[in-house]
Amino acid sequence: MINLLDLDREAITTLIADKPYRGNQVFQWLYQKRIDDIARMSNLPKELRERIASQAVIAYPSVARHQVASDTTEKFAYRLADGQIIESVLIPEEDHWTICISSQVGCAMGCRFCCTAQLGFRRNLTPGEILAQVFMPMRRYPERLFRNIVVMGMGEPLLNYANVVQAVRILSDEQGPDISTRRITISTCGIIPRLGSLWGDTRAGLAVSLNAAMDAKRTALMPINAKYPLPQLIQALRDYPLPPRRRITIEYVLLGGVNDGPADAKALVKILHGVRCKVNLIPFNPWPGAPFTAPEPEAVLAFQAYLKARDFSVLIRRERGRDIQAACGQLAGGASDGMG
């Protein structure tokens, strides 16, 4: 059976090729009204609803676990049709919410500071499994304003490129959710071959997990750097075709005594020369068995001050949901708390 959530507008229209004008109606039921039952598509003839239902379903994952942190951050563990578990996080902001979603079950990148890496790679998520992480909170909390979507959860989005691109296109479709691509950010550890087409395919924001400005140190922290070395990655970012007011977000996880010193800050300023970017500093969020510790608060502030003094836009990312293992780098599909 086809999951309708895996289909974009063109594919839905193809599914009912003899009545193509109905494709937009089906698309709107799915992605504007976010229904989960084909029988509820009340402006479609009963015969057509039955025909679609004989070929397809609207399949959402189930909620395996829901946790609320002391700071009101929420973490959902979703059980997929094959039993795999993924995690997604709802982050409260002043007047809206951000949804952090996963793109893979597990991850193959092996970054030493990331809990998801402990799982290894299991499989890619389908477009529908990616989209469900956005629509399920919207259905559950219709009163909330969900404004930003960040593909920063489990997995490397650019290694599930086609499905992530399709999900972004559906999210931004004017006939569907109509979420501005300015509100969608895709985070990558630096899969260089995909960077050349990402902007043209999505118009989404780009965040790059850098975490070290020295090649050998980055390779020690992030094995992918051996395949796509730092100098090549930085050149790809300089060449990235952003419009004038957009910036690449550089994500830098500060690890206590590892990459948080004055020499590291100096190297970061040097290597980012010519890259139109802003920098997010992320103090390491420990997880059970992690080989690193959080940086000293003084080191974080000194690192920020060094970059600011050299005209960088720098934000220290506030810790969110750490007490439920929902902070950056802590998602593990429930493995860290006895699930999955």
Summarize pLDDT for 105-145 with one digit per residue, the tens.
999 999 998 888 888 899 999 999 999 999 999 999 999 99
**Distance between CA atoms of residues 139 and 133, nearest Å:** 11
Cα Rg for the chain, rounded, in angstroms? 21
Per-residue pLDDT, 214: 96
We report the CATH number of the domain holding residue 12 as: 1.10.150.530
Q: Mean pLDDT per segment of 10 residues, for the chain of length 340 residues?
A: 95 88 94 95 95 96 94 94 95 94 95 86 97 97 96 96 98 94 97 96 97 97 97 97 94 96 98 96 87 94 97 86 56 45
∠ CA 298-214-102, nearest 5°, is 80
The sign of the dihedral angle between the CA atoms of 297, 317, 249, 105 is: positive
Tell me, yes or no, whether 19 and 125 share the same domain. Answer: no
Residue-wise pLDDT for 220-253, tens only, equals 999 999 999 999 999 999 999 999 889 999 999 9
Count of C-beta atoms within a 10 Å radius of residue 303: 25
Tell me, yes or no, whether 209 and 280 share the same domain. Answer: yes
We report the CATH number of the domain holding residue 185 as: 3.20.20.70
C-alpha 2, offset from chain centre = 25
Tell me, yes or no, whether 22 and 82 share the same domain. Answer: no
Whole-prediction pTM value?
0.93
CB 127 within 8 A of CB 163: yes
Per-residue pLDDT, 129: 98
Tell me, yes or no, whether 10 and 116 share the same domain. Answer: no
Tell me, yes or no, whether 19 and 69 share the same domain. Answer: no
Tokens 């004038």 correspond to: 244
Domain, as residue range, for 318: 62-337
The SS3 assignment for 141 reads coil
- Number of structural domains found in the chain: 2
Count of C-beta atoms within a 10 Å radius of residue 233: 23
Tell me, yes or no, whether 139 and 233 share the same domain. Answer: yes
Per-residue pLDDT, 68: 93
∠ CA 218-220-221, nearest 5°, is 65
Amino acid at 243: P
Active site residues: 87, 328
Per-residue pLDDT, 328: 61
Tell me, yes or no, whether 102 and 12 share the same domain. Answer: no
**Distance between CA atoms of residues 338 and 328, nearest Å:** 19
